[in-house]
């Protein structure tokens, strides 16, 4: 359900170039200093105004780097978003806002502390700017249950970017942390819908059922769609999601490995038996067609038994030469 109080409209500012104002403001400030030194008429008044107004105008000069945006507020109200690389002049009383650039993130000295506070404390942009680049969120591995209730370990990487800087700043407290939490939640929801793998005994009329291991791309697309629906109001776009790690949890990994090995052995035995039966059938047919030997039903059964033992055995057969009559 959409939040009726969510901020949705973004105002793009078309600010003038700040270089002209920088030169003009500097020239006025220098003129005020010269007037005070030379004690020209009205110099104290103009000098005082110059030293008050010129520093304020300097505060209105903003630098925006490529693929970055400044979300500006004026006395607590949204003023507009400054986008596009360049040097601009805006209202000097405007303040840039970015909730990811908090004091807590700046105080984290080590990489471990930063990871404990947040997987990605900031979006990488300089100052208070909001990065519009394509970014990567690599969530830690987490233990979840699949459709069958088996505990598994899974990790995902989320490729994302900010498409509405005003929504990202005003609709959520910290859009990077918000994305990380929603990614964990969406991953758990998706994993509950699919089994880790589909075993032969689990296949029924719904043979097109997907699994986490066998349909990783399809599962990643569904994860992206669900995550996108949750972060849309935060002004974020999910470009792509990929499963980077998928394995059974350690407590059941050994048992599942034995099950996989048993299933592989059974499949191999089935193939061996099918081949052996075909070879026995061919041998009997060839013997009969070429009139090499006439065998009654009892001898045929004995021959079939011997051939199946030789062909299906997991060890090399030891031949026994019969020097007497077969009867």
- Name the band, by pLDDT with cuts 50, 70 and 90, for residue 28: confident
pLDDT at 233 over 70: yes
Lowest mean per-residue pLDDT among 53-57, 86-90, 118-122, 266-270: 118-122
Q: Where in the chain is the domain with CATH 3.30.479.30?
A: 105-248
The predicted structure's pLDDT at residue 114: 47
Fold of 105-248: Tetrahydropterin Synthase; Chain A (3.30.479)
**Residue 35: partners with Cβ closer than 8 Å, 6 or more residues away:** 42, 43, 46, 47
pLDDT at 190 over 60: yes
- Name the band, by pLDDT with cuts 50, 70 and 90, for residue 158: very high
pLDDT tens for each residue of 33-76 = 777 777 677 667 767 777 777 778 888 888 899 989 999 999 98
Predicted TM-score (pTM) above 0.85? no
In whole numbers, what is the pLDDT of the chain averaged over residues?
Answer: 78
- Name the band, by pLDDT with cuts 50, 70 and 90, for residue 229: very high
- Name the band, by pLDDT with cuts 50, 70 and 90, for residue 261: low
**pLDDT mean over 281-291:** 75
The predicted structure's pLDDT at residue 9: 80
Q: Which of 71, 113, 124 is nearest to 95 (CA)?
A: 71
The predicted structure's pLDDT at residue 104: 45
pLDDT at 130 over 80: yes
Lowest mean per-residue pLDDT among 41-45, 69-73, 156-160, 201-205: 201-205
**pLDDT mean over 72-86:** 90
Residue 80 — left, alpha, or beta (φ > 0 → left; ψ -120 to 50 → alpha)?
left
Phi/psi of residue 19, each to 5°?
A: -65, -40
**pLDDT mean over 167-196:** 90
Rounded CA separation 15/54 (Å): 19
**pLDDT mean over 83-108:** 78
pLDDT tens for each residue of 134-144 = 999 887 788 88
141-147, long-range: CB < 8 A, 24+ apart: 141/245, 142/184, 142/187, 142/188, 143/249, 144/187, 144/188, 144/191, 144/192, 145/191, 145/192, 146/191, 146/192, 146/194, 146/195, 146/196, 146/212, 147/191, 147/192, 147/193, 147/194, 147/195
């Amino acid at each position: 359900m959409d939040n009726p109080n969510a901020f949705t409209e973004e105002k793009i500012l078309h600010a003038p170039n700040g270089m002209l104002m920088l030169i003009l403001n500097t020239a006025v400030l220098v003129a005020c200093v010269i007037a005070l030194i030379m004690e020209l008429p009205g110099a104290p008044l103009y000098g005082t105004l110059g030293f008050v107004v010129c520093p304020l105008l300097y505060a209105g000069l903003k630098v925006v780097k490529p693929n970055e945006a400044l979300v500006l507020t004026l006395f607590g109200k949204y003023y507009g978003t400054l986008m596009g690389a360049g040097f601009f002049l805006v209202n000097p009383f405007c303040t840039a806002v970015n909730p990811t650039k908090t004091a807590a993130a700046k105080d984290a000295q080590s990489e471990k502390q930063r990871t404990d506070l947040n997987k990605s404390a900031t979006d990488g942009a300089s100052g208070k700017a909001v990065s519009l680049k394509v970014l990567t969120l690599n969530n830690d591995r987490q233990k979840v249950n699949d459709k069958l209730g088996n505990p598994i370990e899974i990790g995902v990487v989320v490729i994302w970017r900010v498409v509405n800087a005003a929504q990202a700043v005003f609709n959520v407290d910290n859009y990077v942390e918000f994305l990380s939490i929603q990614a964990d939640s969406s991953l758990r929801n998706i994993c509950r819908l699919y089994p880790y793998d589909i075993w032969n005994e689990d296949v029924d009329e719904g043979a097109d059922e997907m699994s986490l291991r066998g349909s990783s791309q399809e599962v990643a697309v569904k994860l992206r769609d669900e995550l996108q629906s949750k972060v849309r109001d935060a002004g974020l776009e999910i470009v792509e999601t990929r499963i980077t790690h998928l394995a059974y949890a350690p407590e059941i990994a050994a048992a599942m490995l034995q099950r996989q090995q048993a299933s592989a052995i059974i499949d191999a035995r089935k193939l061996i038996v099918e081949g052996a039966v075909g070879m026995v059938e061919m041998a009997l047919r060839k013997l009969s067609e070429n009139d090499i030997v006439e065998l009654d039903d009892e001898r045929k059964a004995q021959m079939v038994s011997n051939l199946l033992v030789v062909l299906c055995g997991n060890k090399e057969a030891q031949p026994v030469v019969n020097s007497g009559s077969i009867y």
